Amino acid sequence: MSLSIGIDAIALGVPRGYVQLTDLAEARGVPPEKYRDGLGVEQMAVAAADEDAVALAANAARRALSVSRTKPADIGLCIVGTETAVDHSKPVAAFLHGLAGLPPSCRVFETKHACFGGTAGLLNAIDWIASGSARGRAAMVICTDIARYQLRSAAEPTQGAGAVAMIVRESPRLLAFDVGRNGSYSRDVHDFWRPLHAKEGIVDGHFSVDCYLAALEGAYREWLSLQTAKDEAPVRACYHVPYGKMSRKAHRHRKQIDGLTKEQADASFESEVGSSLILPNKIGNAYTASLYLSLASLLHHEATDIERKRITLFSYGSGCVAEFFSGRVVEGAAAWARELRIDEPLNDRTRLTVEQYERVRGLDTQADPRFPDGQPKPVLNGGRVKFLGVDSGE
Ligand code: CAA
């Protein structure tokens, strides 16, 4: 009998502050409809200087363990996917090993391929379980990122930040994957990158949209070729969401490959994709975490309607690599998702003015003196993990 492997629990770690994008549109002299309808964005989370990729990841990981009542000792593998790593050598996962109280027998490492890093971690965790290496233990996969572009650039309204932690195990209570039936696609392109010295991403925006769609097509066609007549049609789709409109473009493109017209494709968007965008619209782009924020949103808002049904996921990482994959929402997932209180971390946020956001960005850019030889100091402070600077040992 083949194993059922998938996501057992999911939890978020989000910054305390966010910007309402109508405020940003006004400050930048852009018609608000361009952001709302043209890009399909509403709010973007803004990470403060004490909310680095480690702190966001640690808050998501600690929450995933506590809401699912998973003992840290049961975790045998911890992978962090990120493109906002804090060190070229020491992985974010090593910090998490301490902050989440994981056991010495746990394998920890970091994965990078732009926004695909979290998916690379998830696929690795699935294979680790399928191979028998897990020996009954669970994996924790955490996606954590801060999306920063230059102030006043066209990409500015597509920023965001956040982390998603997932417990991956046999007999999962949320989503069981169709293991071994993924469609993959890769190509060497220069659509988005971040040089080693830079905190802000550089993007060839319109080209990146073309690359995303080409990758979707390649991965989707391979996934389609692995379907059989017995497979039920999926009822919902989660996409990597750099901004809401991109999921609309992706969904349209995919449905046109199925032979639908543009109008038919768009008509299915709200029912098949709508609920997966509710949380991403409050956070913005969280790179590696974006697809899993979309999945969290779907499970939080709609699990009751889709228990025992198939859904699809599309992950895109610039540069580029992509994966189109699928799974079945587990019976009982709705009640379990309610217990996980997935959206709770979003209840305690503050709306920032554009001036406050710009000040945060200024501090954030100056916060780089971590690079001298000291040790970064993430600390547990008032129930949250915060980055409090570098201990130079003086
Ligand atoms: N009212 C309504 N709509 C308006 C409008 C108005 N007043 N003014 C413009 N629009 C519409 C445009 O018609 C356009 O719609 P379509 O996309 O349907 O053609 C849309 O708003 C965007 O406007 P522009 O084409 O003028 O685009 P822009 O120069 O503002 O840049 C962007 C948009 C390229 C997405 C830019 O925000 C960007 O570079 N973002 C970062 C890159 C990115 O997210 N790429 C996505 C794929 S790569 C990826 O997924 C990896 C990742 O996470 C980064």
3-state helix, strand, coil in the chain (%, to 5): 40, 25, 35
0.95 surpassed by complex ipTM: yes
Distance between Cα 243 and ligand 1 center (Å): 8
Catalytic-role residue among 78, 115, 211, 238 = 115
**Ligand 1, from 21, 39, 146: best to mutate by most atoms within 8 Å of Cβ?**
39
**pLDDT at position 369, please?**
45
Residue 100 DSSP label:
T
Task: Return the ligand 1 atom nearest residue 33 CA.
Answer: 1
Distance between Cα 42 and ligand 1 center (Å): 14
**pLDDT at position 389, please?**
76
Distance between Cα 295 and ligand 1 center (Å): 23
pLDDT (tens digit per residue) in 62-113: 999 999 999 999 999 999 999 999 999 999 999 999 999 999 999 999 999 9
Question: CA-CA distance, 326 to 232, in Å (whole number)?
Answer: 11
**Structure-token pair, residue 275:** 């609920």
- Is CATH 3.40.47.10 correct for 5-391? yes
C-beta 212 within 6 A of ligand 1 = yes
Give me the mean pLDDT over the 171-187 stretch.
98
- Ligand 1 atom 39: the closest Cα is on which residue? 205
Among candidate residues 378, 380, 376, 379, the one with its CA nearest the CA of residue 390: 376
Question: CA-CA distance, 233 to 302, in Å (whole number)?
Answer: 18
Summary mean pLDDT of the chain:
94
Q: Over the range 78-113, which residues count as b (16 or more CB within 10 Å of their CB) and which as e?
A: bbbbbbbbbeeeebbbbbbbebbebeeebbbebbbb
Per-residue pLDDT at 217 exceeds 90: yes
Question: CA-CA distance, 41 to 50, in Å (whole number)?
Answer: 25
**pLDDT at position 393, please?**
58
pLDDT (tens digit per residue) in 308-355: 999 999 999 999 999 999 999 999 999 999 999 999 999 999 999 999
Give me the mean pLDDT over the 148-153 stretch.
96
- Ligand 1 atom 41: the closest Cα is on which residue? 155
End-to-end Cα spacing for the chain = 59
**pLDDT at position 392, please?**
58
Give me the mean pLDDT over the 180-201 stretch.
95
Give me the mean pLDDT over the 3-8 stretch.
95
pLDDT (tens digit per residue) in 265-281: 999 999 999 999 999 99
Per-residue pLDDT at 237 exceeds 70: yes
Distance between Cα 201 and ligand 1 center (Å): 16
In this prediction, residue 387 has a pLDDT band, given cuts at 50, 70 and 90, of: confident
